[in-house]
C-alpha cells in the first residue's frame, strides 16, 4: 500500500519555531496539501464532514503539527516502563482499536516537533533508573511507523536511544513503510515489532493497514538491518475456525522468515477485550462490523479509572493461551513469549 499522505494539515504557530515544524511546513506546502492554523493541537476545529461519521473519517486523514507540552510520560506496562510521546492518533481503521475511545473526540493525528524536549525528558527517566534498563514504548497512542516517513521522529528516537547506555526502545506496527529506518544507528537497542493476526482478523477488522505479506516483507528487512525482532499477536480473537486460523498464521510466519536470524525473537500475546464505551463507539463508526461485542459471553475485569474490560471467560482465555503458546513452541522453539494478557 502507499504510504500515508494527509488530506489536510493543521499547524500550531509555535511549531514553526522548531526545525522539524519548519521542515514539515515546507514539505506539505510543496506537496500542495491544504494547510490551516490551529491555536492548539488539543482543540482542532473545522475538520470537514456533513455527519459525525464523515468528520471522523476525515479526521483520520488529518495531520496536526504541534508542540508537546505535557512532558510527563505515561507508564506502559507490561511492555515498557514509559510511553514515548512522539505522536497521537492513527490513519488505520481497525475496528477493535482502543484509540477510538482513548482519543475521544480527537481522532486526528498529532505529531510533536519539540523532539529535543521529549528526548531530554526520556534521558531524565533513564538517569533516574540507571543502571537499571529503562524501556520506552513509542507506539502506545499511534502507529508511529506508519507516519514516520513524513517526520522521521521515530528514526531520531531510535538513534537517541541507540546512543544511551541504559535506554531501550520498542514499538509495534501494522505498516510496511520501514525503508528509511533501515540505516538508523540503533546499536541493538530497539525492538521492532509487527502486529500479526489470523487471516480472518486481518481481513475483517484491519482496513487501512498493510497486508500480512507486506508486514512480513518489512519484518525481513528490519531483521536484516540488525534490529531485534518481535511479533505482537493482538487481538487474539475467537472467530469460527480460530485454531486453524492461528495455526496457519504461525506456519506462514515460519515460512516467510526462513533464513532470518531468529535467535532473539519475542512474542507478545493479547486477547481481545473491549469496554462498554468502546462498544458504543465501534457500533457507531463501523456499524457493519462482524466484531463480537456481546458482554454476556465475556468476563468482566475491573480496570483503572473505574472502566472495566470484557475479556474472554477463564476457560476460553486459557485455551487461547495454551493453543497459541503450543504453536509458537512448535514453529519458533527458541522464541520468548513475553506475556499473555
Which is closer to ligand SF4, CB of 114 or CB of 173? 173
333: exposed, middle or buried (Cβ count in 10 Å: 0-12, 13-18, 19+): exposed
For residue 206, the minimal CB distance to ligand SF4 (Å) is 6
Which of 87, 97, 122, 253 is in the footprint of ligand SF4 by CB under 6 A?
Answer: 97
Work out whether 210 is an interface residue with ligand SF4 (CB under 6 A): no
Q: Grid cell 547506555 — which residue?
A: 165
* Residues with Cβ within 8 Å of residue 164, at least 6 apart in sequence: 123, 126, 189
Find the Cα–Cα–Cα–Cα dihedral 222, 225, 227, 230, rounded to 10°: 30
Work out whether 92 is an interface residue with ligand SF4 (CB under 6 A): yes
What is the end-to-end Cα distance of the chain in Å, rounded? 31
C-alpha neighbours within 13 Å on the C-beta side of residue 14: 10
For residue 196, the minimal CB distance to ligand SF4 (Å) is 12
Backbone angles phi, psi at 178, to 5 degrees: -110, -5
Q: Which three cell numbers stand for residue 192?
A: 521492532
Which is closer to ligand SF4, CB of 126 or CB of 234? 234
Please give the Cα distance from 215 to 158 (Å, whole number).
Answer: 20
Work out whether 94 is an interface residue with ligand SF4 (CB under 6 A): yes
Q: Going residue by residue from 257 to 276, which x/- string records binding to ligand SF4, judged by CB under 6 A?
A: --------------------
* Residues with Cβ within 8 Å of residue 31, at least 6 apart in sequence: 5
Judged by CB under 6 A, the stretch of 91-99, 183-191, 212-220, 327-335 that binds ligand SF4 is 91-99
Which is closer to ligand SF4, CB of 143 or CB of 148? 143
List binders of ligand SF4 among 120-159 (CB under 6 A): 143
Work out whether 99 is an interface residue with ligand SF4 (CB under 6 A): yes
Which is closer to ligand SF4, CB of 80 or CB of 126? 80
Number of residues that bind ligand SF4 (CB under 6 A): 8
- Asked whether 146 and 91 are in contact (CB, 8 A), the reply is yes
Which is closer to ligand SF4, CB of 160 or CB of 205? 205
Which of 76, 151, 209, 271 is in the footprint of ligand SF4 by CB under 6 A?
Answer: 209
Q: Which three cell numbers stand for residue 187?
A: 546499536
Judged by CB under 6 A, the stretch of 13-21, 94-102, 215-223, 249-257 that binds ligand SF4 is 94-102
List binders of ligand SF4 among 281-320 (CB under 6 A): none
Which is closer to ligand SF4, CB of 15 or CB of 109? 109
Taking the CA atoms of 24, 192, 139 and 146 in sequence, report the sign of the dihedral they define. positive
Please give the Cα distance from 318 to 300 (Å, whole number).
Answer: 16
Which of 59, 63, 64, 90 is in the footprint of ligand SF4 by CB under 6 A?
Answer: 90
Work out whether 68 is an interface residue with ligand SF4 (CB under 6 A): no
Work out whether 174 is an interface residue with ligand SF4 (CB under 6 A): yes
For residue 193, the minimal CB distance to ligand SF4 (Å) is 12
Which is closer to ligand SF4, CB of 190 or CB of 209? 209
4: exposed, middle or buried (Cβ count in 10 Å: 0-12, 13-18, 19+): buried
- H/E stretch holding 30: helix 19-30
For residue 123, the minimal CB distance to ligand SF4 (Å) is 27
- Asked whether 180 and 149 are in contact (CB, 8 A), the reply is yes
Please give the Cα distance from 259 to 112 (Å, whole number).
Answer: 38
For residue 263, the minimal CB distance to ligand SF4 (Å) is 28
* Chain positions contacting ligand SF4, by CB under 6 A: 90, 92, 94, 97, 99, 143, 174, 209
Amino acid at each position: 500500500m502507499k504510504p500515508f499522505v494527509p488530506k489536510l494539515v493543521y499547524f500550531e504557530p509555535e511549531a514553526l519555531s522548531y526545525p522539524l515544524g519548519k521542515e514539515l511546513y515546507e514539505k506539505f506546502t510543496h506537496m500542495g496539501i491544504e494547510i490551516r492554523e490551529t491555536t492548539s493541537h488539543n482543540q482542532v476545529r473545522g475538520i470537514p464532514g456533513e455527519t459525525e461519521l464523515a468528520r471522523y473519517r476525515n479526521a483520520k486523514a488529518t495531520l496536526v503539527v504541534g508542540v508537546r507540552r505535557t512532558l510527563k510520560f505515561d507508564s506502559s506496562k507490561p511492555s515498557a516502563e514509559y510511553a514515548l510521546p512522539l505522536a497521537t492518533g492513527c490513519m488505520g481503521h481497525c475496528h477493535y482499536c482502543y484509540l477510538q475511545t482513548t482519543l475521544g473526540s480527537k481522532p486526528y493525528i498529532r505529531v510533536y516537533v519539540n523532539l529535543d524536549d521529549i528526548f531530554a525528558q526520556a534521558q531524565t527517566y533513564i538517569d533516574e533508573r540507571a543502571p537499571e534498563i529503562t524501556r520506552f514504548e513509542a507506539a502506545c497512542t499511534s502507529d508511529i511507523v506508519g507516519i514516520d516517513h513524513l517526520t522521521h521522529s521515530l528514526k531520531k528516537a531510535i538513534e537517541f536511544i541507540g546512543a544511551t547506555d541504559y535506554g531501550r526502545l520498542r514499538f509495534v506496527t501494522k505498516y510496511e513503510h520501514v525503508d528509511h529506518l533501515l540505516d538508523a544507528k540503533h546499536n541493538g537497542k530497539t525492538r521492532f515489532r509487527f502486529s500479526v493476526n489470523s487471516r480472518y482478523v486481518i481481513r475483517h477488522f484491519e482496513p487501512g493497514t498493510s497486508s500480512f505479506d507486506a508486514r512480513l516483507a518489512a519484518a525481513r528487512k528490519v531483521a536484516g538491518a540488525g534490529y531485534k525482532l518481535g511479533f505482537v499477536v493482538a487481538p487474539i480473537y475467537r472467530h469460527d475456525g480460530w485454531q486453524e486460523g492461528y495455526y496457519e498464521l504461525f506456519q506462514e510466519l515460519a515460512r516467510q522468515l526462513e533464513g532470518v536470524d531468529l535467535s532473539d525473537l519475542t512474542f507478545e500475546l493479547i486477547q481481545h477485550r473491549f469496554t462498554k464505551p468502546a462498544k458504543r463507539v465501534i457500533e457507531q463508526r463501523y456499524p457493519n462490523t462482524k466484531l463480537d461485542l456481546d458482554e454476556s459471553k465475556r468476563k468482566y475485569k475491573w480496570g483503572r479509572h473505574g472502566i472495566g474490560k470484557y475479556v474472554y471467560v477463564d476457560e476460553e482465555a486459557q485455551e487461547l493461551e495454551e493453543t497459541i503458546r503450543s504453536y509458537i513452541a512448535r514453529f519458533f522453539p527458541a522464541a520468548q513469549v513475553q506475556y499473555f494478557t
